[in-house]
Amino acid sequence: MNIDRHEQISSFFSEKERPSLKNVSYAKYGYGLLFAGVIAFYLSYAGYIDDKFLFAVIFTVAGLFLIRNKFVELFFSEDSFFFDESEVPKRFLEDANEVVLKRVFEIAGIDKKEVSDDVIFKIYVPLYEQYPGVDSDKILRVLLENGKFMYSAWQVHVIIVESKFVSFYSCVYNWINNICKDFVTDEFYYYDIAAVKTVLSEESCRCVDNIVIENGQVKKVIITNISGDKIELTVDRPFLKPYFANDEYDLVKTLRMRVRKERFRDVSGSDIDFEIEDTRG
């Protein structure tokens, strides 16, 4: 049976219904028991060990029980819910990119085929506090085995570094419902950009589970034009311990290179420095 993918995601974030990632973590022990059972069967059959047939049966049955979900996924489901931790970000990125990028190109009025992937930068920042227009019961997170969290609500930034200007798009993406909303857009011509910098700052956060985080470190990329207008992107909130972090290095370097080439023409990539300004008190 092909279970709806986003019902799976909803179940994943439901503490009562989630078929826990423990099912998958247990599977590694199942493979070991199954292997031991097969070896025991062989050794018993070959006469190398005596009176161990019962142990071989127990090992084999226990192993099959622990890997049953993987077995079901392989033979009976086209889109099984059961997946290991390494697949969590992959599934999230597939869903988020499909929905968000489609809407970005609709707003921009451009054909995705006309824009190369190396000038499209995507930043994913988890949300775990009350957000206007997002039901609090849809703002969830799951603690994974590596001590990191996977979140259901995200702020997604898409930056397209075009030939003469940089376009900025930001929205809130709800992974459970697979929808994006509250798009904010802006664009700066390179000639008008006065500064591109990365800063460390602090913020306080009242989480939806009433945990209050004081002075949590935040990393931001700030693009300022000569009129003083700013595009300010939060690129990392490490105090929320997200499963994966963004790497803004390529974005900042690409922007600085475009700005300096617009101004000076003969700037090379080796001339572009990368530094982080610490604005924390």
Query: By three-state DSSP, how is residue 92 classified?
Result: helix
β-partners of residue 42 are none
Q: How far is CA 107 from CA 18, 98, 111, 184, 186, in A?
A: 36, 15, 11, 10, 11
What is the C-alpha separation between 225 and 231, in angstroms, rounded? 9
Q: Is the pLDDT reported for residue 57 higher than 50? A: yes
Average pLDDT of span 131-147: 84
What pLDDT is stored for residue 100 in this prediction? 94
**Contact by Cβ (8 Å): 124, 96:** yes
What is the C-alpha separation between 201 and 73, in angstroms, rounded? 45
Q: How far is CA 21 from CA 53, 84, 93, 162, 195, in A?
A: 32, 7, 19, 41, 45
Higher pLDDT among residues 45 and 97, named by residue: 97
What pLDDT is stored for residue 224 in this prediction? 92
Q: Locate all alpha helices (DSSP H) within 141-277, ordered by sequence.
A: 249-264
What secondary structure letter does DSSP report for 177? T
**Contact by Cβ (8 Å): 123, 248:** yes
What pLDDT is stored for residue 22 in this prediction? 46
What pLDDT is stored for residue 243 in this prediction? 85
Q: Is the pLDDT reported for residue 54 higher than 90? A: no
Q: Locate all alpha helices (DSSP H) within the chain, ordered by sequence.
A: 5-12, 22-46, 53-66, 68-76, 88-108, 249-264
- In tens, the pLDDT along 141-186 reads 988 878 888 999 999 999 999 888 899 999 999 998 889 999 999 9
Residue type for position 79: D
Higher pLDDT among residues 280 and 241, named by residue: 241
What does pTM read for this prediction? Answer: 0.71
**Contact by Cβ (8 Å): 181, 188:** no
What is the C-alpha separation between 92 and 97, in angstroms, rounded? 8
Average pLDDT of span 223-231: 90
Between strands 276-278 and 153-161, the pairing is: unpaired
262: tokens are: 């617009």
- Of 91, 126, 102, 93, which is closest to residue 5 (Cα–Cα)? 91
- Lowest-pLDDT choice from 35-44, 209-218, 242-251, 272-281: 272-281
Residue the block writes with tokens 């080796």:
270
- In tens, the pLDDT along 94-116 reads 999 999 999 999 998 888 888 88
- In tens, the pLDDT along 196-220 reads 999 998 888 888 888 888 888 899 9
